[in-house]
Structure 1
Amino acid sequence: MLLKALLLVAGVVALASAEKYDGYKVYEVTPTTAEQIETLTTLSEDADKFDFLSLSRIAGDSARVLISPEIEQYFKNILEQKNISYKLEDSNFGRSVNTEILENRLLRQLKPYSGTGRLGTERYYTQAEINAYLDDLAARYPSRVSLKVVGKSYEGRILKTITITNGDGRLGKNVILMDGGFHAREWISPASAVYAIGELVENFEENADLLLDYDWVVLPVVNADGYEYSQESSSTRLWRKTRQPVTINGKTCYGTDPNRNFDFHWLGKGASSDYCSITYAGPTAFSEPETVVVRDLIHTYSERGIMYLTLHSYGSYVLYPWGYTSELPETADDLHEVGLAGADAIKAYSGTKYTVGSSTGLLGEAAGASDDYAFQAGFPISFTMELPRGGIYGFDPPASSVDRLVKETWVGIRAMGKKVTEKYPLA
């Protein structure tokens, strides 16, 4: 009741403070033909004017796009000319995002993390709180958990991996490498990574089969600076990139899309050379300290690594290489089999339908991504898991949905992990 009362106040504040997104609207569009899909794909290439929060290459799949008041009529004219179905999802995006930010702050005050015990699923946690949880796990389960500082973000935040074992002391096991929080605004990604960590460590008896011949290495928040920045205010809520500035001819723009910054077909299709774009690939490959950390993790474990899994949102997809081309790898059948195990498990558990396929086949080209890089580096199974949409614009499942989504996601991760241990036993 207290939270509801406080949120009523939040609504009043939000009405008076729409900030950056005053007048912005969210539309849902549904293409039904290949021509309509290409029209939307072309619009999406101008990512800073048309912020497509999702866009599939499958006819009938709805997409959501954030539109400024200046281009709203232009956008609607194009949709009507091409007979693309659309509907208004949110007529006051500024108010909605303000309310969400304030709710997040209030929940932190009402449900603080003490630094001991398992993180809850009632709200989103800061990167510092997540690191504190990792520290607590290492202290409580020293025989099965080890931590390693693997680097720092541009702004100096500590990036830690947690390695989870069954405590038998055997070396040379296969490895599943998982990360979350590549894109700052995708808060449900770190939340799902943290929940998976908790299941592997604190529900060990139920998941011992996943740890018999495998170690799990997890980096819960890759883009720590962007993740924290996206929680500061409504004007930063949709921040996607890192926070390292780039200055050209006296003009400064901040950040690089870390999932376009890997040195495998870097600056190919789906990546931008415009340093102010939300899909900017960076001034050079691996220009971001955060992507260097992931690169080094991939190479550290490439000889033992079997599955690389990076958690994103949104769309309900299990995506495998390639992302830079429409061609499929020779092992596409193996990739599809493992991905389908996760999708089937989720469907049986909650009814949520995931689509399994190549990144380019389902969403279009996105060169320079971590899953392609890990695959070519030696991980035979490499996935981007796009979690389900939530909230008004897809990236914002409300705090009340966190519990449901992280548990559902774990079911899929567990099923894929189980299939991997069966297909790739320890040599």
Structure 2
Amino acid sequence: MKLLSLYLLTFAFFQSSWSFSYDGYKAYSVTPKTLGQAKILKEFEDDEHFDFWSEFRALNSSVDVMVSPKAQLDFENFLSSEGIDYTIFIENVEEKIQEENKRQKRSALVTRGDVSFTEFMRYDDITAYLDKLNVEYSNIAQTQIIGKSFEGRDLYLIKISSGGSNKPILFMQAAIHAREWIAPPVALYVINQLVENPENADLYQNVDWVIVPVVNPDGYEFSHVDTRLWRKTRTPGTICAGTDGNRNFDYHWMVTGASGWQCSQTYAGHSPFSEVETQAIRDYVLANKENIKLFLDIHSYGNWLLYPWGYTTDPPDDADELQALGDRVNDAIAAVRGTTYTVGNSTSCYTPRRVLVQITPRELLVSI
């Protein structure tokens, strides 16, 4: 009886970790073959029962979408009537989320101020690690608060430098989309290896690294405690909360790849830079635009190395250089991990969208 009670208590603990349940939600892989099919599918993007996990890239290329139980039968009937191929690759999304939760609970707890690459750290633990580096490696690492989130959390960046002034800056940010939990560990690993591994000291002798490991801390925390697949900021709206920060920058705002509907996952906000989080990034970038030579935005869900532009098919002036750089990055990753990435500009690899390197006027984008 004691064992049964313990099991039930443990089961209840796992089940109650998030307020919102995705029980019965399914994930579909859908493959449009014609432009007409792709256009019809895109009309579902603003429907609250559909959550597109990937975007339309090309005909005969699949797109992944999560569908609520209420819409599944009609959606499947629609796909069949239109002759659109699909498969269901997750029968119950909630079961996958609970599997992830159980793995998290089995992981060792992170000591305050330490970093972990075996579990997903909470925002306070991430900032505690940055603060520790600021104290223990003050000769090369300095933290800076560049603003506050809507809910009042400090927006942290860390600068890694050997000293001096007017050095080229490599700017990196992660987790502008809250649910992309793998993005902060990537940023933290870069920080960890630069600061705590002396063998990498040569990597910051002639350049400064500026890294924001979590751009959207409110959404990131909300995805940990309430709705696992929350993507946007937490700014209240008149109908639905949150804005897609990645589509909230002003450069060709709302031209394509974004929505004006508050409940859409790609809602661009009521105006450019409506979010305090994107304002903080804007202000720092503009204040340092003469020195920033690379802007790297880390996302998940897809092996893509993307460069501008996302609003037009016209390539940037330095497209050849960016392609060559992306190819070198891909080769380096493949040599270590055996993993390959697709390299290209956003419109050749991806449906046009607000990619972050377009947040400021074109003259900010200097040669790498």
Q: Displacement of 1:127 after TM fit?
A: 0.9
- Aligned-partner SS, 1:230: helix
Residue 160 of structure 1 corresponds to: 156
Separation in structure 2 between the aligned mates of residue 351 and residue 121 of structure 1, nearest angstrom: 20
- Aligned-partner SS, 2:279: helix
Residue 135 of structure 1 corresponds to: 131
2:75 matches 1:79: no
2:20 matches 1:58: no
TM-score scaled to structure 1, two decimals?
0.78
Separation in structure 1 between the aligned mates of residue 346 and residue 8 of structure 2, nearest angstrom: 39
Residue 395 of structure 1 corresponds to: none
Q: Displacement of 1:102 after TM fit?
A: 4.9
Separation in structure 1 between the aligned mates of residue 252 and residue 133 of structure 2, nearest angstrom: 38
Residue 311 of structure 2 corresponds to: 324
343, 358, 366: which one pairs with 2:330? 343
Identical aligned residues as a percent = 41
2:125 matches 1:125: no
Residue 67 of structure 1 corresponds to: 67
Q: Displacement of 1:346 after TM fit?
A: 1.4
Query: AA paired with 2:312?
Result: T
Separation in structure 2 between the aligned mates of residue 337 and residue 140 of structure 1, nearest angstrom: 38
Residue 365 of structure 1 corresponds to: 352
Separation in structure 2 between the aligned mates of residue 240 and residue 263 of structure 1, nearest angstrom: 20
2:127 matches 1:98: no
Return closer, same or farther for 1:19/1:288 CA change in 2, 3 Å cut-off: closer
2:348 matches 1:376: no
Return closer, same or farther for 1:158/1:322 CA change in 2, 3 Å cut-off: same
Return closer, same or farther for 1:342/1:130 CA change in 2, 3 Å cut-off: same
Return closer, same or farther for 1:352/1:377 CA change in 2, 3 Å cut-off: same
Return closer, same or farther for 1:116/1:97 CA change in 2, 3 Å cut-off: closer
Query: AA paired with 1:330?
Result: D
Return closer, same or farther for 1:256/1:120 CA change in 2, 3 Å cut-off: same
Query: AA paired with 2:154?
Result: I
Paired residues for 1:139-288 under 5 Å: 139-165=135-161, 167=162, 169-205=163-199, 207-233=200-226, 236-247=227-238, 252-288=239-275
- Aligned-partner SS, 1:77: helix
Return closer, same or farther for 1:12/1:308 CA change in 2, 3 Å cut-off: closer
Q: Mean Cα displacement is larger for which, 208-217 or 84-93?
A: 84-93
Residue 25 of structure 1 corresponds to: 26
Query: AA paired with 2:58?
Result: I
Aligned CA-pair RMSD: 2.7
Return closer, same or farther for 1:192/1:47 CA change in 2, 3 Å cut-off: farther
Return closer, same or farther for 1:220/1:380 CA change in 2, 3 Å cut-off: same
Return closer, same or farther for 1:366/1:170 CA change in 2, 3 Å cut-off: same
Return closer, same or farther for 1:99/1:6 CA change in 2, 3 Å cut-off: farther
- Aligned-partner SS, 2:237: strand
Please give the per-residue CA displacement for 1:158-214, whole angstroms capped at 9, x wherever unaligned.
11110001x3x3211100000001000000011111111101111232x23321210
Q: Displacement of 1:113 after TM fit?
A: 2.3
What residue ranges of structure 2 are gaps of 5+ in the alignment? Answer: 1-5
Separation in structure 2 between the aligned mates of residue 129 and residue 114 of structure 1, nearest angstrom: 9
Separation in structure 2 between the aligned mates of residue 7 and residue 121 of structure 1, nearest angstrom: 30
What residue ranges of structure 1 are gaps of 5+ in the alignment? Answer: 382-423
Residue 289 of structure 1 corresponds to: 276
Q: Quick check: 1:7–1:103 contact (8 Å CA) kept in 2?
A: no
Q: Displacement of 1:373 after TM fit?
A: 1.5
Q: Quick check: 1:241–1:278 contact (8 Å CA) kept in 2?
A: yes
Separation in structure 1 between the aligned mates of residue 325 and residue 39 of structure 2, nearest angstrom: 30
Residue 298 of structure 1 corresponds to: 285
